[in-house]
Amino acid sequence: MTVLSLNAEYGGVDPAALAAALGAGGTGSGSAHGVNGVDVLVLVEADEDLITALREEGVLDRLPYRTATIPDEPQGGKAGGAVILSAHPLRSEGVLPRFAAYRHFDQPVAVVEHPDLGAVRVVGIHPVPPIGEDFVPSWDDTLRGLDRWQAAHADLPLILAGDFNASHAHPQFRALADGFTPTASAAGPFPGPTWPVGSWLPPFTAIDHVLLRGLVPIAYERLDLAGTDHRGILTTVAGERVTGGTL
């Protein structure tokens, strides 16, 4: 199962560049997979204008299933829109609860029915950034709330994908990631930073992640795409080995 996760920076990512990245990604092809093998696309900081542009690029012909329409005024402002697109049927489970009292972004949840892996729960992750004294409590509450939520949802393999606005330097992120396998581990001990891109400051931190429970990573790549200050994460995952075979 191949996943592409991206912060689209207020929906500003170049849709042609994203479509091209989807066309270059993954190893599969044919009707059982999405664009050239990409099964799931997770977009945060997205809007319906971007989805329309992707449809015009032909992306939605191969990723026809999706979570709910992004509101014109999403929770938390323009950065709050998010969507999960899939090549396979999915069942939307709405959005995560509002963990933060002050400000939060919508974080969609869906169960994707993969033909080989079966049902896999996917969450588009995006806490607010910890950029000031008003935001830090909401960021902290969201990461801690995510940790409680994931512990209570252990019935299916789980993928947490998106912009966590946190790195392994943050104890809140380390607590959340405990028990998960980062797909970046498929790239070795130094997978590289994901933010910021296109700034006078070179990328210096990894705040974009894809975390797995009940699955294992077999490939990982960071993508630079015009129109966003985040690198995308393109990763392929497989079922965990169990006694007598594989999931």
Residue 34: pLDDT band (50, 70, 90) is: low
Give the pLDDT score at 29: 33
CATH of the domain at 109: 3.60.10.10
Give the pLDDT score at 240: 87
Give the pLDDT score at 23: 82
d(CA 164, CA 134): 18
- Mean pLDDT of the region 71-87: 95
**pLDDT tens profile 82-137:** 999 999 999 999 999 999 988 899 999 999 999 999 999 999 999 999 998 889 99
User: Domain span at residue 56?
Assistant: 2-246
**pLDDT tens profile 226-241:** 999 999 999 999 998 6
- Mean pLDDT of the region 52-67: 96
| pLDDT over 50 (residue 166) | yes
More confident residue, 243 or 209: 209
Which residues are CB-contacts of 83 (< 8 A; sequence separation ≥ 6)? Answer: 42, 43, 46, 51, 66, 67, 68, 70, 108, 124
- pTM of the predicted protein model: 0.93
Mean pLDDT of the chain: 91
Run of H or E including 11: none
Residue 27: pLDDT band (50, 70, 90) is: very low
| pLDDT over 60 (residue 33) | no
**pLDDT tens profile 137-148:** 999 999 999 999
Closest by Cα among 228, 184, 186 to 209: 184
Q: How many CB atoms lie within 10 A of CB 229?
A: 16
d(CA 208, CA 163): 4
Q: How many domains does the chain have?
A: 1
